Chain A
Amino acid sequence: MKKVTLILQDGTTFSGFSFGYEGPACGEVVFNTAMSGYPESLTDPSYAGQLMVLTYPLVGNYGVPPFTFQPNGLPDYMESDRIYARAIIVSDYSGQYCHWNACESLSQWLKREHVPGITGVDTRQLTKVLREHGVMMGRIVMDGEDGKEAGFGTYEGVNFVAQVSCREIVHYRASDYSQPANRLPEDQPAKATAPGKRVVLVDCGVKANILRCLLERGVDVVRVPWDYDFNTLDFDGLFLANGPGDPDLCEPAVAHIRTFLQRQDVKPCMGICMGNQLLAKAAGATIYKLKYGHRSHNQPVRQLGTNRCFITTQNHGYAVEPSTLQEGWEPLFVNMNDGSNEGIRHREKPWFSAQFHPEACAGPVDTEFLFDDFVKLL
């Protein structure tokens, strides 16, 4: 295996071996403490522009599932149409894999999609550096290549949402949807349904499982580009999806949401992650960047005013400042580790959002009931 070096902006270097595409890469270096779900994470558009460090050392064990699509264009097992992270950095890549649903190794996949992968890195130490310093830019230099001249690129100020959002409206009909083999419905609890209802989904970089969660509940989905003026469409509810980067760069979307909130005909709205931040911005709140973000499958959140707590999947670098919310709004969930905001809602109107990922994929599915709550409001 070829030697590779990861250089952080502060000059710290980590060396390892290449197991993916042999080429340079740069981006914001972020760590994720999840112990499974690398195919889902890699294809999560929220990782656009980032180099993903996994703290769990053994990666690649169960290979990569087939990258197949349903007739409506929805991937069966992945979260989008390709890998969005710019590189993956692990401690002990497992070249041999074994799983009934695997069709290639992680290494083969990375090479096919031109994404570098580094193994042999002390990812715990790297994580500690990022934790102490905060997220940093980093670049990957292959052995023998001169990386001195290359820059680190930029993350802040780049509108990644615009890069990953769909270009045109896509229609998904619940009746066309069929469950993939790893989501057997008989092993899942009963779901609320709203057949015939239509939801507009603002695509800031939506994960496929959000679409699956809606389609499984019988609603038709109209997926629109992030800056599309959806208020012109005919729909029963609004869904604000996840997406990468800084929400302050998404003013056009916020403007459309603000209009939506002022409509006479009140319609339900649910947001996830970037959706939470955009909804909060439309409700007047400000956003700040976290030192090193929340990226894991074990984030505890508590529903405010209750004793209900949930383990959630998270992937975000920015957070809502709840004290800046306008009259009528209140925080809905709070992070039990650091007290940061994990969701908001309107006191009277059917609008709510979560900073975490109720659609999971990867991660725990404990909060999938939020989709039921939303569908019941339609």
Chain B
Amino acid sequence: MERKDIKKVLLLGSGALKIGEAGEFDYSGSQALKALKEEGIETVLINPNIATVQTSEGVADQIYFLPVTPYFVERVIAKERPQGILLAFGGQTALNCGVTLYKEGTLERYGVEVLGTPVQAIIDTEDRELFVERLDEIGVKTIRSEACETIDDAREAAARLGYPVILRAAYALGGLGSGFCDNEEQLNMLAEKAFSFSPQVLVEKSLKGWKEIEYEVVRDRYDNCITVCNMENFDPLGIHTGESIVIAPSQTLSNADYHKLRALAIRIIRHIGIVGECNVQYAFDPESEDYRVIEVNARLSRSSALASKATGYPLAFVAAKLGLGYGLFELKNSVTKTTSAFFEPALDYVVCKIPRWDLGKFRGVDRELGSSMKSVGEVMAIGRTFEEAIQKGLRMIGQGMHGFVGNKELLIDNLEEALKSPTDKRIFMIEKAFFAGYTVQQIHDLTKIDKWFLEKLLHIYEINSRLRKCNINTLEASLMREAKVYGFTDFQIARALGMGKEMDIDEAVPIVRRVRKQMGVLPFVKQIDTLAAEYPAHTNYLYLTYSASAHDIAYEMDKRSVVVLGSGAYRIGSSVEFDWCGVQALHTIRQEGYRSVMINYNPETVSTDYDMCDRLYFDELTFERVMDILELECPRGVIVSTGGQIPNNLALKLDAARVPILGTQARYIDNAEDREKFSEMLTRIGVDQPEWSALTNMEDVNAFIERVGFPVLVRPSYVLSGAAMNVCSNQDELERFLKLAANVSQKHPVVISKFMLNTKEVEMDAVASGGEIIAYAISEHIEYAGVHSGDATIQFPAQKLYVETVRRIKKISAQIARELNISGPFNIQYLARENEIKVIECNLRASRSFPFVSKVLKINLIELATKVMLGLLVEKPSKNFFDFDYVGIKASQFSFNRLQKADPVLGVDMSSTGEVGCLGEDVNSALLKAMLSVGYRIPRHSVLLSTGTAKDKAAMLEAARKLHDHGYVLYATGGTSRYLTDNGIPNTLVYWPSQEQMQPQALDLLHQHEIDMVVNIPKDLTQGELRNGYRLRRAAVDLNIPLITNARLASAFINAFTTLSLDDLAIRSWSEYK
């Protein structure tokens, strides 16, 4: 390394988690910061995502919880004056911000050098035209489209490119007028339609059915290159790679195929001049050696995080070192520690990534998968057969599936259609197709999925069929072993053997387990060592497989292991915050001299970085697999309270299997989780709660509602992902929802509770030891109850609660902690109106807000909780949150722009994909930073108001007046306009889309970009009301115009930006808030 002049480096994070930009950048940023630190370089991090590991104490020297936008980054640069900046570790957000700063000359002005890949190389890969040009220079083929102005041009272009072609109407939103043409006749028809949408049509060669292959390539400044990993998409071209099941390494490429694409990738990266890491994506013809380059990502990406986890090669860490000027040959392989980092990992296992979707959470969303990403998380499964890996993966996504077979039957109208058009459920359609007698060839024709993958799935199906011919007494050991080698769980086997007919399936599973063990069919632990056992490696990166005959490691049996269960796939409601909790727990365990052991399978996380713990099992969090591991580890105990709901749900079963659970005991967890028991307890200790009832028939439902009145909150108790809760405002809605989401029955009662309006929601995050609270944080939602706590904007410390309210909350929390004998983290949600306090729910585990309150408080609640759980003596921290003179605001990030057709309205079910937390001297400054961090902009001239009920209108009046006073032009829909005028606020009346004949139309103004912000507050969540505002809200999202749908939040935001200007916001690092 020769860069001794670089002493301080700024790293840009990626901000809140959103669809397309998730936890993988916490992982890559954390690795980069570690690499810099190792060199003694001072690090500065800008990232408003307060729940991340990279924004934890000690990871970077200075942390700024500020928006990653050119304005704020420039102000941080002016203050910190770093010599270098890293742009490649914070996703597209950081890259775009960095390119702007470079183009505007800001970096040059402050003498900040971009480390790693030069900005021009980034621009070359980001700009489509430049990209094609650059690859043309070295004769590498790209996907190109020809712009045509007439049908004749289009015909000629198509003939040149060769059918089939894709036609796209230029400048048309949402793919209007696009489609495939196999011949000229089809082209004529489609082109006519396309030209009616747009004056220009793009004709592109269709590569439908081609394979999609990716390579992760690394280059140092000496021009040395390696490809760390290649990956093959299970789904053929046309489905975004983030939406595809991905296999590493490639499975269907011959040596010639593999190395042809590898050599091209290296040629490309050399020509473009990457220094660090990049990703090359190809379309590859299944019928020849023909290929096209789809794109090059000149930065760390989701794929690179996956490749790091798939191979054990720390791409981000190495890329950061290369940015500092190292050559690959100067670095060591971080797994073997003896061999060189200049090498290509050899895998002796297969890895399968499966996306996790939460489409069921959104009203109206389009379920078909395509070229844009909709998934919110992913899992990675490791196995030594493809079947084992994919079945593990299908369980890991946590959608109630048991693997490829043995699932609850999915009902479908048209199987052929379901195979043809890919959705989040397509792989399960393949199983249905086998059952219906389709051949591999037929399924291939419909799906274009490579026959090799389909044959493997058929293999699983056939094993299942063979199992179905047996019963537990006739099943032979050889078939038992075969089923396990190919990824079957004991549950799947029990089901295939028909044991569910004779007993509860939950009783059958332990029988299968016992029989299997008697047969000697056991899993083995294998290491991921990057070199396929060629060199000895002391790696702690492990997985389990049945395709083996020996363990790679020897166990100590010293009872010093403490196992932390991770949080699984990121999903709406559970993401990076639980990763932070898990990592903090691991740190503490290690610090206290125990062996820290993690079980998790999410490749986007820091907790699955093998450096974070003493042993990492990258494997399932099913009861079966956790028990397999615990039987080997014989741990001192297991922590189930830092990984969200998945480990929490395992508590009872683990306890029944006599696994030592550290912290709060399983029966108390059950007492909090079980509504009936919890409610009884509250009544017993005299704590109030919203009226509720678990009901099993419509008569009881109606009787209950007669008593409490509408609106009510309805929760199907057997909550499958997707069929979630809803607020019903009238009988009609209630009946419709109950019919749709839940069949009320004896076995599956529905929980209905009174829905409280105009009530504050307050959160208590705390740690208790032996039933006594030792640290706590009380925070307050800005929105009234009714917005899911995961979507709400939260202020901490609470700013507007009565002292009496706080006192009561503390008292009730202490009572509950004592009653449930809590030892460890917990969270209670309260409703507060006047001084009336009601408990909504209580979780005896860390909650989503733990990292936020810990970082604002500067007391690591998980560290405390972990110490408690380890049985250590913990002193109550002396700090009190009335002591500090700053405020933290947690705001939510929504990804509606990625979810075509979804209604961007907030309700009782969570829909945000991420969050930020910002600090400020007061609520206004913290809120403004937070809102800007999640993508809101301060409007320039005009705001559209449509403010719902009379109460909301009144609540918004002050804000509207402020807007007017600050010179904003106000547009308003009917009722709002009247109300504003009556109150002396000038405004322009605009019309709803339903008022077709009237002018001006609100939608037109949005399309003409006459409006900079939309405040649209539905009167209630009834279908009719939602329909009315839907087109307006959707248009705002599609046109990238900031939208707020809650009166309290809108008022707070308007108040903030009319009180403060950007320049008023202080640029202070986390450590400067004291």
**Chain A interface residues (CB < 8 Å from chain B):** 14, 31, 33-37, 39-40, 55-58, 61-62, 65, 77, 91-92, 94, 96-101, 121-125, 127-128, 131, 181-184, 186-189, 296-300, 302, 307-309, 311, 336-337, 360-366
Contact = CB atoms under 8 A, between A and B. Distances in A.
B548 interface: yes
Interface string B451-479: 11001100100000000000000000000
B342 interface: yes
Task: Pick from B225, B452, B552 the residue with the most CB of A within 10 Å.
Answer: B452
B252 A127 contact: no
Contact of A97 (B347, B350, B452): B452
A189 B263 CA distance: 9
A61 B536 CA distance: 29
Instruction: Determine the main DSSP class of A at the interface with B.
Output: loop
A98 B457 CA distance: 14
A57 B348 contact: yes
Contact of A55 (B139, B223, B346, B550): B346
A336 B343 contact: yes
A36 B254 contact: yes
B224 A99 contact: no
A99 B252 contact: yes
Interface residues of B, number: 64
B289 A308 contact: no
Interface stretch (B525-533, B646-654, B829-837): B525-533
Contacts of A34: 346
Contacts, number: 184
Given A92-B385, A131-B534, A14 B549 contact: yes
Given A65-B254, A92-B385, A337 B339 contact: yes
Nearest to A306: B222
Contact of A127 (B223, B385, B532): B532
Interface string B340-359: 10111111111000000000
A298 B535 CA distance: 13
B535 A360 contact: no
Interface in B479-538: 524, 526, 531-536
Given A123-B348, A309-B329, A311-B343, A96 B452 contact: yes
A98 B344 contact: no
Given A125-B550, A309-B342, 15 more contacts: A62-B254, A65-B254, A92-B385, A98-B252, A99-B254, A122-B550, A124-B532, A127-B348, A131-B534, A186-B139, A300-B343, A302-B329, A309-B222, A337-B343, A365-B259
B384 A57 contact: yes
Contact of B347 (A56, A121, A336): A56
Instruction: Identify the 9 closest CB pairs spanning chains A and B, nearest first.
Output: A37-B255, A96-B455, A182-B256, A55-B532, A33-B346, A33-B532, A98-B452, A362-B255, A336-B340
Interface of B: 139, 222-226, 249, 251-260, 262-264, 266-267, 286-289, 291, 327-329, 338-340, 342-350, 384-386, 450-452, 455-456, 459, 524, 526, 531-536, 547-550, 552
Given A182-B289, A187-B264, A337-B339, A127 B452 contact: no
Given A187-B264, A296-B534, A337 B340 contact: yes
Given A92-B547, A364-B262, A297 B256 contact: no
Nearest to A131: B533
B329 to A, nearest CB: 5
The B contact surface, by secondary structure, is loop
A37 to B, nearest CB: 4
B350 A58 contact: yes
Contact of A336 (B289, B342, B345, B547): B342
A210 B275 CA distance: 33
B43 to A, nearest CB: 27
Contact of B348 (A40, A55, A121, A366): A55
A311 B524 CA distance: 32
A55 B533 contact: yes
B166 to A, nearest CB: 23
B327 A307 contact: yes
A313 to B, nearest CB: 9
A293 to B, nearest CB: 10
A61 B459 CA distance: 14
A96 B533 CA distance: 27
B452 A183 contact: no
A207 B340 CA distance: 29
B263 A131 contact: no
A67 to B, nearest CB: 14
A91 B547 contact: yes
A298 B255 contact: no
A44 to B, nearest CB: 12
Given A33-B531, A186-B139, A298-B343, A57 B349 contact: yes
Nearest to B440: A96
A57 B340 contact: no
B264 A100 contact: no
Nearest to B264: A187
A340 to B, nearest CB: 13
Nearest to B291: A187
Nearest to B226: A311
